[in-house]
Structure 1
Amino acid sequence: MSPFMILLIPIGIVVFFILLSSFFTVKQQTAAIIENFGKFNSIRNSGLQFKIPVVQRIAGRINLKIQQLDVIVETKTKDDVFVRLKISVQFQVLKMKVYDAFYKLENPHDQITSYVFDVVRAEVPKMKLDDVFERKDDIAIAVKQELNDAMSDYGYDIIKTLVTDIDPDVQVKAAMNRINAAEREKVAAEYEAEAERIKIVAKARAEAESKRLQGQGIADQRREIARGLEESVDVLNNVGINSQEASALIVVTQHYDTLQSIGEETNTNLILLPNSPQAGSNMLNDMIASFVASNQIGEQMKKENEARGIGATKTRKKRTPPPPPEDPEVNF
C-alpha cells in the first residue's frame, strides 16, 4: 500500500466523525442554544438539526416544560409561633424568551427561592397562626404576583403557586390538639347533658301519666264498688231487709272475703286488724253514727245561712233610698 493511501485513511476517518457530529437532535419541548466561537447564533427547536463543525457548538439546552420547585420557609407569626411553610412554585420558560432565560439568569431555582423567602417572611409575620391556615391562598397569591413581576424579565412565566403544607412547632401542635380535644369533650358533655335531661323529662312525664291513669283507675274502681254496693242494698231491700241490716251483711261478707284472699297467699305478711265479725259490725255502727251527725250539722249550718240571708235582705230593703221627686209642671 502506498504512503498516500496510508495517510488518506485516517483523514477519511476524521472527516467522517466531523460530518457525523454536524447533525444533532433536539427533543420535544426543548430548545438548543447554538453559538459561533462563543457568540450567540441561534435557537434550535425540536427535530433533526445541523451545525457547522468546529465553528458552531451547542451552548446549552432549555427545558420548555412546566417545572415545579418546592421551597420550605421557616418564619414566625404575629403571635410568636414558629411555623414551616412548604411553597410549591410551578413555572415555565417562555418560547419567545429562551435567550433571556439562558443568558440573563445563571440559576433560576436560587432566584425563585429567594423571592419566595422574601414574600413569605413579609406576609406571615402580619398574621396569627389561625389566620395562616385560613388565609394560605392569600399567601400563595402574594408569592405568585411577586414572582411574576420579578421573573418575567428573565423569560420565566409563573403558572401557579401553592401553599402545600403548614407545619407549626411540635409543642404548638400538641397544644392545639389539646384545645381541640377539650372543645370536643365540652360539646360531648353538652350533648350528654341534653340527652340526660330529655330522659329525665320523659321519665317524669311517664310517671305523671302513670299516676293519672292510676288515679283514674282507682276512681273507676271505687265508683264500681259503690254501684255494686248500691245494687246489693237494693236487692236486700226487695227481700225485706232494711238498709242498716243490709249494710251490716255487706260489711261482714267483705270481711270474710278479705280473710279468704289473705289465706290464699302463702308468703304474705299482711295482718287484718280487727279480725272479728263483731268488730266489722261496730265499725259499721260508728260509720252510720258519723253520717247521721254529719247530716245534722249540715242541716243546722244550712238553716243558719238561710237565716242570715233573710236578715241581710231586710236590711238592704230598709236602706233603699227614696226615689227622686218628680219635676213640677209649669203652667203658662
Structure 2
Amino acid sequence: MLFVFVFGVSLGLFSKSASIAAYNPATGFAQSSQVTGLFSPSTLALAIFPDVDTSAFPVDAATALTVPAVQRGIQIFSSVGSRLPLKATDADGNDVDLPFLNHTEGPITPAKRTSGIIQDLIFHNASLIQVVRDADGYVSAFAHVPAHLWSLDANGNILVNGKKASSDDVVYVPSIMPAGFLEVARDSVRQYRNIVRTINNRTAAPEPVVIVAETEDVAPTDEEIDQALASLANALQSERGGIVYQPKGLEIKGFGATDSANALMLEARNALRVDISNFLGISADMLDGSGGGNSQVYANSVDSRNELSELSLKTWTEPLADRLSQDDCTPPGIKISVDYSLFDAFVSAKGNTESPVIPNV
C-alpha cells in the first residue's frame, strides 16, 4: 500500500485521527508552534503571577537556550546523536532489516527526527513518537511529536492537543533520568540570565552608583548642584563619553563597580558553566567553546570524545532504542540498538604519532 509521508509518518494515520495535529505539508511541522519570547511560559508566569515566587517553576526551552553553555551542550548531543544509525538484530545476533529505523520521507530527515527526540529527553525527561503499525501491530514508521503538542493527565494518559491518544498511534519514550533539565537546572539558568543582565547594565552604565559628595564647606548653590548632576547624567549616558564640570566643594565618584565585584561576576559565570555541564552530564571543557592546536589538547580532545560516548551521549541515545525494542513495538527477540561504530576513536599507545580514527559524524 502506498503512503504519502508528512513529518515522517504516513498520512493514513493522520486521516484516521484528526486529533493528533494539523501539519504543514511544506515543512512537516505542526502549523501551531510553541510561543516563545515575550509570551514564553517563563515570561507569562511573571505577568500572571507577579506577586508569586516563580523560581520553583521550570524554565522553558527557549529561555534555557539563551545560555551559551546550554546551547553548546544541546548542539553537541543533537549533532552527534542524530547521525548515529539504529540497527536491529535477532536473538542470535543476526542483522534484521527494518528500513523505518533510519528512513523518513518528506522534509523531516531522520537526523531531524532523532535530534528532536534527544532534545525532548534532555529538556522534558520524555519524548513521544507517533507510529504507523503493520498488519501484525508492530511499528513500521514513526515520527517525533513536538513536546508542546502533548502532555500527561493525572491518570497517566497521553494527551495530544488536549485529547486522549490511543496507544496504537503513539509510543511514550521515557528517559532514564529522574527529572528533566528544565526542572532541575532552573536556578542555574535564571542565575546566568541575571548575571548577563547585570553585565549588560554595567556596559550601559559602568558605575552602578555615582556619589556626589560635599567635601568642603563651600555650600554650592542648588543651581550648581542641579547643573552638575545633569551634566553627569548626560555624560554617563553618552555613547562617546562626555565632559563634566565639578564645582568647588563637590566630589563626584563612582561606587559599586570595583574590580573585585566585576571579577566576582565573571567567576560566577564560569562556575555556572560547570553547573550546567553537570546537569547535562557532559564535561565542562566541551562547553568551553575554546581550544588550541597543540598535541596535548589534541590528545585530550580524543579522550573527551571517548568520554562523551560512554558517559554522556548514551544517556540520551539509548532510551529510543530501548523503547523500540519492547514487544509492543517490534517482534519478541528483536533488539534495537544504536550503532556507535561511526563514533569510535582510537589513539595509539605510542602517543600522538598515529592519527586517531575520527570520522566526520
Q: Under a length normalisation based on structure 1, what TM-score does the superposition of the two structures give?
A: 0.16
Higher relative contact order (CA 8 A, sep 6+): 2
Query: Which is strand-richer, 1 or 2?
Result: 1
Select the structure of larger CA radius of gyration.
Answer: 1
Q: Under a length normalisation based on structure 2, what TM-score does the superposition of the two structures give?
A: 0.15
Query: Which is helix-richer, 1 or 2?
Result: 1
